[in-house]
């Protein structure tokens, strides 16, 4: 799998800004050219939303954020890039002009993708000196969360260009799908156009409001589409006989005059005003940025749910996320020892995701354990127990836990955890975690855990190797002089303020 070393984005609007965020959060330096006077503000807001979404999406260690550079000229932005993404407005003459400038200034081996949502790549290639490296890379909004990119080559696009584009997208957690033959609007927008056309007629004819129409989608087939798409959904609808039965049963319906897909609605001033008014009412006063954040939180919840599908192997976009996280864990460097390791170690900062809250609106119980488990993982990486170590057949397993819930964590709240090593020997590691509100410093929970070093292949406990034991022992020594935490050694139901005899370590 090849990586993108440096990217360039020409155009920083909704789609261009999403590409910029996707690249930056994958650790890629990005040069940007956009003459719009508000470009830097717009991009900064999109990147801020993306960082917030990633904080909810994954606990895997992201690489250091790439460097963002706004360039004064297009030529400066693209000069050293090996992936260049054009995202200027959807006008053929403008895109041709911009792509010609990119083609002239880019390195010979640079890939050049266009974010067009419908123009043919062969038309975009016209007049270019190096058309073989130009293709359509059509993403979906928000680019930093939705992983699909339609890769469409034109008549002059080299086959190896399409293959290289798909390969490089995988490294940043995206799925490039090759479209075998260029057609206007490709695949995704053709489907959306059909739905959009029918939706406009339903509003025009006062069959329903825009809110009712959206409700029909989001409370029914939209949920199915999110994880199985169209054809696999209909295969299930065919029962045990599958797709052939479904087609035989429902195929005749296609001849019925239900839809107006071949008729174009007249978007006159009255219809535009009707849709605009109903859309304003539906938004309920929320700003675009607020709606984007709500959208992102919902998408994160769906992606997280899909990550656990198919017996934990992941399903659809969730499997892609799971594979991306696995690569992040493998490529993550060792956790740096905090500057003052004589104090409880600050190991994890996270945010309460929308999928983490219960019917009370608070973080549900098992998510406290998840956060403390992620904190333990950070500690283990600090002492050398990384993905390679685990794949070699060794690890620490948690064998006992005790969590105290002292405060209420709510959706979107920033959390900070610290770890104090209570005691350690050749096999055991006794730790005490604290969870704080990152903004106020108030203590929300504590977690006391006993871990046992194991040979995962043999299925039994074994002493940790010397290189790990020495790091664990060093931390235990640094923390030996710290006051014992309030609550260490407690058992369930023990009166507050009392100490258990078991708090004397191992």
Please state, in angstroms and rounded to a whole number, the distance separating the CA atoms of residues 85 and 19. Answer: 8
Q: Specify the pLDDT at position 387.
A: 87
Q: Specify the pLDDT at position 14.
A: 94
Q: How far is CA 243 from CA 187, 250, 310, in A?
A: 21, 10, 21
- Widest pairwise Cα distance in the chain: 82
Please state, in angstroms and rounded to a whole number, the distance separating the CA atoms of residues 454 and 463. Answer: 8
3-state percent helix, strand, coil for the chain, nearest multiple of 5: 45, 20, 35
* pTM across the whole model: 0.81
Q: Specify the pLDDT at position 498.
A: 54
Domains and CATH numbers, the chain: 6-186 (3.40.50.720), 189-285 (1.10.1040.10), 334-503 (3.10.129.10)
Closest CA to 375 of 333, 434, 331, 318: 434
Closest CA to 179 of 143, 148, 225, 145: 148
Q: Specify the pLDDT at position 497.
A: 61
Q: Specify the pLDDT at position 311.
A: 87
DSSP H stretches of helix in 308-396: 317-331, 365-382, 387-391
End-to-end CA gap in the chain: 46
Please state, in angstroms and rounded to a whole number, the distance separating the CA atoms of residues 20 and 47. Answer: 8
Please state, in angstroms and rounded to a whole number, the distance separating the CA atoms of residues 124 and 119. Answer: 7
| pLDDT in 10s for each residue of the chain, 506 residues | 789 999 999 999 999 999 999 999 999 999 999 999 999 999 999 999 999 899 888 878 889 999 999 999 999 999 999 999 999 999 999 999 999 999 999 999 999 999 999 999 999 999 999 999 999 999 999 999 999 999 999 999 999 999 999 999 999 999 999 999 999 999 999 999 999 999 999 999 999 999 999 999 999 999 999 999 999 998 999 899 899 988 898 888 888 888 877 888 999 999 999 999 999 999 999 998 899 988 998 899 899 899 988 888 999 999 999 999 988 888 876 667 777 889 999 999 888 877 788 888 899 999 999 999 999 999 999 999 988 899 999 999 999 999 999 999 998 899 999 999 999 999 999 999 999 999 999 999 999 999 999 999 999 999 999 999 999 999 999 999 999 999 999 888 887 665 443 343 44
Peptide bond into 142 cis (omega under 30): yes
Closest CA to 3 of 173, 168, 163, 174: 168
Judge whether 9 and 137 are in contact, CB under 8 Å. Answer: no
Please state, in angstroms and rounded to a whole number, the distance separating the CA atoms of residues 220 and 132. Answer: 43
Judge whether 145 and 173 are in contact, CB under 8 Å. Answer: no
Buried b / exposed e along 202-217 (16+ C-beta atoms within 10 A): bbbeeeebbeebeeee
- Give the Cα-Cα-Cα angle 387, 391, 396 (nearest 5 degrees): 70
């Amino acid at each position: 799998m090849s990586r993108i070393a440096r990217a360039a984005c020409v155009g920083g609007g909704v789609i261009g800004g999403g590409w910029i965020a996707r690249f930056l959060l994958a650790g890629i330096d990005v040069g940007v050219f956009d003459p719009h006077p508000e470009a830097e503000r717009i991009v900064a807001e999109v990147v801020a939303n993306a960082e917030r979404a990633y904080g909810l999406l994954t606990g895997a260690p992201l690489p250091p954020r790439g460097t963002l550079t706004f360039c004064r000229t297009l030529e400066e932005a693209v000069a050293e890039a090996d992936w260049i993404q054009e995202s200027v407005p959807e006008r053929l003459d403008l895109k041709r002009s911009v792509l010609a400038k990119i083609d002239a200034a880019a390195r010979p081996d640079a890939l050049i993708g266009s974010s067009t949502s419908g123009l043919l790549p062969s038309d975009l290639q016209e007049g270019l000196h190096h058309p073989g490296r130009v293709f359509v890379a059509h993403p979906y909004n928000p680019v930093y969360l939705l992983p699909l990119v339609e890769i469409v080559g034109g008549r002059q696009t080299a086959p190896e260009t399409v293959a290289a584009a798909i390969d490089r997208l995988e490294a940043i957690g995206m799925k490039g799908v090759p479209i075998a033959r260029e057609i206007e609007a490709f695949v995704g927008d053709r489907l959306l156009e059909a739905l959009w056309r029918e939706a406009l007629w339903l509003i025009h004819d006062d069959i329903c409001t825009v809110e009712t129409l959206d409700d029909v989608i989001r409370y029914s087939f939209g949920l199915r589409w999110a994880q199985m798409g169209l054809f696999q959904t209909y295969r299930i609808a065919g029962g045990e006989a599958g797709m052939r039965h479904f087609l035989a049963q429902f195929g005749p319906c296609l001849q019925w005059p239900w839809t107006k897909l071949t008729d174009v609605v007249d978007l006159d001033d009255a219809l535009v005003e009707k849709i605009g008014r109903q859309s304003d009412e539906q938004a309920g006063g929320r700003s675009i940025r607020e709606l984007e954040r709500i959208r992102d939180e919902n998408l994160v919840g769906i992606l997280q749910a899909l990550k656990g599908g198919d017996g934990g192997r992941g399903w659809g976009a969730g499997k892609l996320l799971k594979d991306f996280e696995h690569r992040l864990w493998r490529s993550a460097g060792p956790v740096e020892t905090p500057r003052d390791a004589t104090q409880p170690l600050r190991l994890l900062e996270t945010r309460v995701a929308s999928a983490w809250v219960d019917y009370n609106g608070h973080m549900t119980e098992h998510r406290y354990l998840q956060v403390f488990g992620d904190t333990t993982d950070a500690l283990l990486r600090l002492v050398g127990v990384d993905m390679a170590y685990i794949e070699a057949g060794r690890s620490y397993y948690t064998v006992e836990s005790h969590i105290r819930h002292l405060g209420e964590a709510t959706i979107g709240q920033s959390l900070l955890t610290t770890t104090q090593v209570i005691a350690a020997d050749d096999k055991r590691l006794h730790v005490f975690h604290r969870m704080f509100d990152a903004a106020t410093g108030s203590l929300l929970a504590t977690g006391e855990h006993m871990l046992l070093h194991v040979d995962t292949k043999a299925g039994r406990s074994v002493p940790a190797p010397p290189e790990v034991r020495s790091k664990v022992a060093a931390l235990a020594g640094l923390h030996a002089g710290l006051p014992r935490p309030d609550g260490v050694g407690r058992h369930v139901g023990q009166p507050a303020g009392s100490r258990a005899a078991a708090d004397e370590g191992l």
